[in-house]
Structures are given as structure tokens and as C-alpha cells.
Amino acid sequence: MTFLWPELLWLLLLLPVLVAMYLYVLGRKKKFALRYASLEIVKEAMGAGAGLRRHVPPALFLLAMAVMILAIARPAATVTLPSQHETVILAMDVSGSMRATDVEPNRLVAAQNAAKAFVGEQPENVRIGVVAFAGTATLAQAPTRNREEIVAAIDRFQLQRATAIGSAILVSLATIFPNTGIDVATFNYDASKKAGTSTVAPVRPGSYNSAVIILLTDGQRTTGPDSIQAARLAADRGVRIYTVGVGTTAGETIGFDGWSMHVRLDEETLKTIADVTRGEYFYAGNAIDLKKVYQTLNAKLVLESKKTEITALFAAAAALVVVLSALLSLLWFNRIL
């Protein structure tokens, strides 16, 4: 646990002063009581237990003061809370290599089945959009809460040639931020930075909590904007990208329907995309792994660990202890402290 205003912890030094004042007041009361001849009768009536009980309410009040000072210092801790992601963009590769059968029944069908299962497990308030990409990227389904429309969009995938990972990221960002002028055709991250023409001030990577992108591909970029530059644009807007790699990392020639093609999963790029945007990379070597990946992603999107200020918890605890102190004092001595 840390404190946002640690300098205020010096106020804890007031507690020994309060203890000293309390002991001083008790001493004065004792001297005053000695003037009465019936003191022994009073002690006998009270008993040893009652003598100890009179210190409990003040001790609780002192504890409440300590907790309140900690609250003033604004404590913060890493806690696991439900995430606030309202939009999830599924960016899925539909290039020709997704027809390969090294992931049964083939990569595309396995990816479709896992994605549909993921959609079904999302909370009702989460909107889901679908981006399909090969040589270009298109918005197959605008973000919606209608699960039937999302599943239908996933089922309509048509295989095409080439792989434009950068285009997929840009179309996903344009879907999340429709009014920021993100254009795949004219995109050049480095040039816009040098010219200072970016219309959006960069934020901390991973800080945007209203949307995330899940990018699934089985190959490497062969066309379209640079993937890393597109990821940097996502990072500037605080959007996390979780990347999922399906396929052969060493490179392999895959043949089907009378023709063949050489494909290689570019894990390094996918890892960099995830790292730049504060997301995470997952490798799925088969249909079971792919399903587990989406289950893991679902858990990450529903629950998220983050550093949160917990001042309210300390303030509430202090208030409860004060009330308890007052109630005990009323119950035992018919007065508040």
C-alpha cells in the first residue's frame, strides 16, 4: 500500500500527545476523587472490570483518529475490480492461410468458434464490433450489444489474399474513435509526429478503459500501413491491444486446393504491438489452445488489477470505530466518552 499524500502521515505524531492528555486528565480526576471519604465504597461498587472498561471507548476513539489520519494521507493499493471496458473490437485475420488444417478443423473455423464462444461470455452491457482483414480491413459489424448480429458477422467471413495487420488496427481505432479522422489510406505516424499535425493529445498507454482491441492473425504483414506505427497510434490513445497468434512460428509451406503458399507467424511483431499498447500476446497452437486464450482474455476483460485510491474505505472504518466507541460509552457509563 502507498499514500498519495505521505507527508500528512506526520499527523500521527499527534496521537502520543492525545494519550498524554488523556493520562493527565485521569490523574486530575484521581486527585479530585481522593477528597471524598466514600472513594473505597465507589471502587468496591465498580469492581476491577469496570475500571478497565472505562479505557475502552477512549482507546477506540484513538484508533479511529489514527485510521482517519491514514485516510487523509490518501492510501492507494492494487486491487482487482470489474473492468470498465464497454467496447471490444475483434480484429480477425481472413487471409487465405487461415484455411490451413494444422488447427482442426482449420484455422478459420477454429478462430470463428472460439470468437463466438468469447462473445457469448461477455457481459450484456459490452458492445462488440468485428473487423475482418486480409489485404484490406473492413468493419464487418459495428459495435453492438446484439449477440446474434455479431455471430452472424463472424460466420460471414470470406477468405482473401494478403495480410494487412496495420490496416486492421487503424480500422479498429477508427471504429472506437469515429470523429478523429483516422484514415488508413493516408496514415503515416512518423510524418504526422514530425509535422505536429496530430489532432489528439497523446495519453498514457493502456489508460483508456472504455475499449480494447483483440487482434488475431496467423501470418505476417504483407501489405498496408506499418503494424508498429499503427500500434503506436493506439498507444497514444490509451487503447490496449491483445494479440493472438495462430500458426507456424518457424515458417511453413502450406498446400490446399491445388496451390501452395509459404506463411510464417510474426510473433515478434505481435509481441511488440501488445507491449507498446500495454496489452498481452498469446500463442494458440491448436483449437484447444485458442479456446483457452479466449477464456483467459474474457477473465482479463471482466476483472482487472489496477492501483486504486482506497481513502473511502479508511474513512468508513474510522467512522464505524467512532460510532462503536460512542455506543459502548453510552451503554456502560450513560455518556459519550
The β-bridge partners of 283 are 245
Backbone angles phi, psi at 44, to 5 degrees: -65, -35
Q: So what's the pLDDT on residue 105?
A: 86
- State how beta strands 259-263 and 252-256 pair: antiparallel
Between 56 and 169, residue with greater pLDDT = 169
Q: So what's the pLDDT on residue 78?
A: 75
Q: What's the grid cell of residue 11?
A: 499527523
Q: So what's the pLDDT on residue 296?
A: 86
Between 222 and 189, residue with greater pLDDT = 222
Q: Is residue 272 predicted with pLDDT exceeding 90? A: yes
Between 160 and 1, residue with greater pLDDT = 160
Largest CA-CA distance found in the chain, in angstroms, rounded: 114
Q: So what's the pLDDT on residue 258?
A: 64
Q: Is residue 5 predicted with pLDDT exceeding 70? A: yes
Name all domains of the chain by residue range, CATH numbers in brackets: 2-78+309-333 (no CATH), 85-285 (3.40.50.410)
Q: Is residue 196 predicted with pLDDT exceeding 70? A: no
**Poorest-pLDDT segment among 45-54, 274-283, 328-337:** 45-54
- Span 16-28, pLDDT tens digits: 888 888 787 777 7
Across 250-256, average pLDDT: 64
Q: So what's the pLDDT on residue 82?
A: 62
Q: So what's the pLDDT on residue 337?
A: 62
Q: So what's the pLDDT on residue 31?
A: 63
Across 305-315, average pLDDT: 81
- Span 101-153, pLDDT tens digits: 878 888 899 999 999 999 998 888 899 999 999 999 999 999 999 999 999 99
Q: So what's the pLDDT on residue 215?
A: 97
Angle, in degrees to the nearest 10, between helices 107-121 and 147-155: 180
Q: Which of 95, 61, 20, 136 is nearest to 261 (CA)?
A: 95
**Poorest-pLDDT segment among 164-173, 238-247, 274-283, 317-326:** 317-326
Q: So what's the pLDDT on residue 242?
A: 96
Across 74-80, average pLDDT: 79
**Poorest-pLDDT segment among 8-22, 86-100, 225-239:** 8-22
- Other CB atoms within 10 Å distance of the CB of residue 281: 19
Average pLDDT in the chain: 84
Q: So what's the pLDDT on residue 304?
A: 62
Among residues of the chain, what percentage have pLDDT more than 90?
Answer: 39
Q: What's the grid cell of residue 250?
A: 518457424
* Ramachandran sector of residue 146 (left: φ over 0; alpha: ψ -120 to 50; beta: rest): beta
- Span 154-192, pLDDT tens digits: 999 999 988 999 999 999 999 999 988 888 888 877 666
DSSP 144-168: ES-HHHHHHHHHT---BSS--HHHH
Q: So what's the pLDDT on residue 283?
A: 92
Across 65-77, average pLDDT: 89
Across 70-88, average pLDDT: 79
Between 121 and 37, residue with greater pLDDT = 121
Q: Is residue 314 predicted with pLDDT exceeding 80? A: yes
Q: So what's the pLDDT on residue 123?
A: 85
Q: So what's the pLDDT on residue 51?
A: 64
